């Protein structure tokens, strides 16, 4: 009986929230990479590439710092992000390898993800 009452209260609460939304309200627009356009570059990379470990967050912070310093062109990061997001398995590692392969001919040295099973050599 208690579960049924809880379920009814939960349903009514959700229903009232839905009714309070404006009729023409649309969800936030999504960019081509599948992440909200309201995020900054750091948030986009962390969420979109599914960063979980401290070393992954550190790697993303280093990439963002290179973009902000003007060393790494943002267009390479964005294009590689969209490419890596298509991978369901290890998008961050795919991003790392693809970005490194793209900018190596330009003479740009990128940081590496430490403590990885695979490492680009």
Is 29 among the domain residues?
no
Domain extent, residue 69, equals 41-106
What's the pLDDT at 61?
A: 94
Is 14 among the domain residues?
no
CA atoms lying within 13 Å on the CB side of residue 32 = 7
Distance of CA 10 to CAs 17, 19, 22, 72, Å?
Answer: 11, 14, 21, 49
Tally the domains of the chain. Answer: 1
Q: For residue range 98-112, list pLDDT tens digits in order.
A: 999 999 999 988 888
The single-letter DSSP state of residue 70 is T
Is 30 among the domain residues?
no
CA gap 49, 98 in Å, rounded: 13
Q: What is the pTM of this model?
A: 0.64
CA angle 119, 121, 43 (to 5 degrees): 50
Q: For residue range 23-57, list pLDDT tens digits in order.
A: 444 444 444 445 556 678 999 999 999 889 899 99
């Amino acid at each position: 009986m208690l579960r049924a009452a809880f379920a009814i209260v939960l349903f009514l609460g959700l229903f009232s929230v839905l009714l309070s939304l404006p009729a023409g309200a649309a969800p936030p627009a999504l960019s081509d990479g599948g992440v909200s356009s309201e995020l900054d570059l750091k948030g986009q990379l962390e969420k979109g590439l599914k960063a979980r470990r401290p070393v992954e967050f550190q790697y993303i912070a280093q990439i963002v710092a290179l973009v902000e310093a003007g060393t790494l062109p943002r267009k390479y990061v964005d294009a590689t992000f969209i490419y890596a997001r298509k991978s369901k398995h290890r998008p961050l590692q795919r991003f790392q390898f693809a970005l490194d392969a793209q900018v190596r001919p330009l003479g740009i040295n990128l940081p590496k993800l430490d403590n990885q099973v695979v490492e680009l050599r």
